[in-house]
Amino acid sequence: MKVKPFGMLDIESLGTPDNCGTTHIAMPSFAFVAMHGIDKDPDLIFVTLDVQDQLNSGAKVTASTFAFWMDQAKNNPSAIHIMEALQSKGAKLIAFREGKHHCTNELGSNYGAYFMAKNMMELFLDESALYYGNGPEFDMTIYSANTFHAGTNEAVVPWKFWNLGNVRSFRNLWMQAGYNYKELEAEGASWAKAKMEKMDTIRYGIYPVKHDPAFDALVESYCVARMIEKIKI
């Protein structure tokens, strides 16, 4: 079954809704993928944000999540972005289009990054495209809350509320059908690493490792596309 182009969002946060009691949680970085098919190059947007600006607007953090990232900083290059976001005075957006670096923009505000990411995803995908998160009640709600509090009291997102899908639902269907999700995820990791190598993302400080939102979003995009093809959803 041919996969229709779709969007994927992955965020890194400094807390969880259960522990913070809100979805307005500090979010150091996020990535969008516009997935056009396993045999095609995806479009990728990677953003690091100004965490202090989020805290000033009331975003929450949890000590346990902060401790997790401090521990990750010992040996995981994905934590570099978290440290940068904690010290930055603005946002940075890096985009890749059709397997090549497209642009790098230093932005004066988090709102500017959300607005640019929205515009670019609307360029990469048509308005009927579905957007997925792992799951959307985490990634999408935290992302939406941060965009809402970034300046205009309006959510700055490229999706409509009725166009959201859940990677976890696909995963459950996949396993119920008797397939091995860990094997699929390993395939996705290999695919994501190959795509990131082609895009030369390491040159821009974006590493093919777990907990890097660009890598995670690419892996999840592959898995969703493969599951749609196999299960014929």
* Cα gap 150→147, rounded to integer Å: 5
| Overall average pLDDT of the 106-110 stretch | 92
Is residue 104 within 8 Å of 93, Cβ to Cβ?
A: yes
- Give the pLDDT mean for 17-39: 94
Name the strands in the sheet holding 131-133, side by side, starting at the edge strand that comes first in the sequence: 100-107, 91-97, 43-48, 29-35, 6-12, 131-133, 164-166
Computed over every residue of the chain, the mean pLDDT equals 91
Least confident of 8-17, 25-34, 82-91, 174-183: 82-91
What average pLDDT does the segment 20-28 reach? 93
CA 230 to centroid of chain Cα atoms: 24
115-125 pLDDT per residue, tens = 999 999 999 99
175-193 average pLDDT score = 95
| Reported confidence tier of residue 144, pLDDT bands at 50, 70, 90 | very high
pLDDT at 159: 95
Confidence of residue 232 (pLDDT cuts 50, 70, 90): low
- Cis before residue 135, ω within 30 degrees of 0? yes
Look up the pTM and report it: 0.94
pLDDT of residue 136: 73
pLDDT band at 90 (very low <50, low <70, confident <90, very high): confident
The domain segmentation of the chain, as residue ranges, is: 6-231
> In the predicted model, what is the mean pLDDT of residues 4-13?
96
Instruction: Look at residue 84 in the predicted model and tell me its pLDDT.
Output: 75
pLDDT, tens only, 151-170: 878 999 999 988 999 999 98
pLDDT > 60? residue 233: no
Residues constituting the chain = 233
Question: In this predicted model, which residue has the larger pLDDT, 43 or 80?
Answer: 43
CATH classification number, 6-231, choose in 3.30.70, 3.30.420, 1.10.10, 3.30.1560: 3.30.420
Does the structure show a pLDDT above 80 at 67?
yes
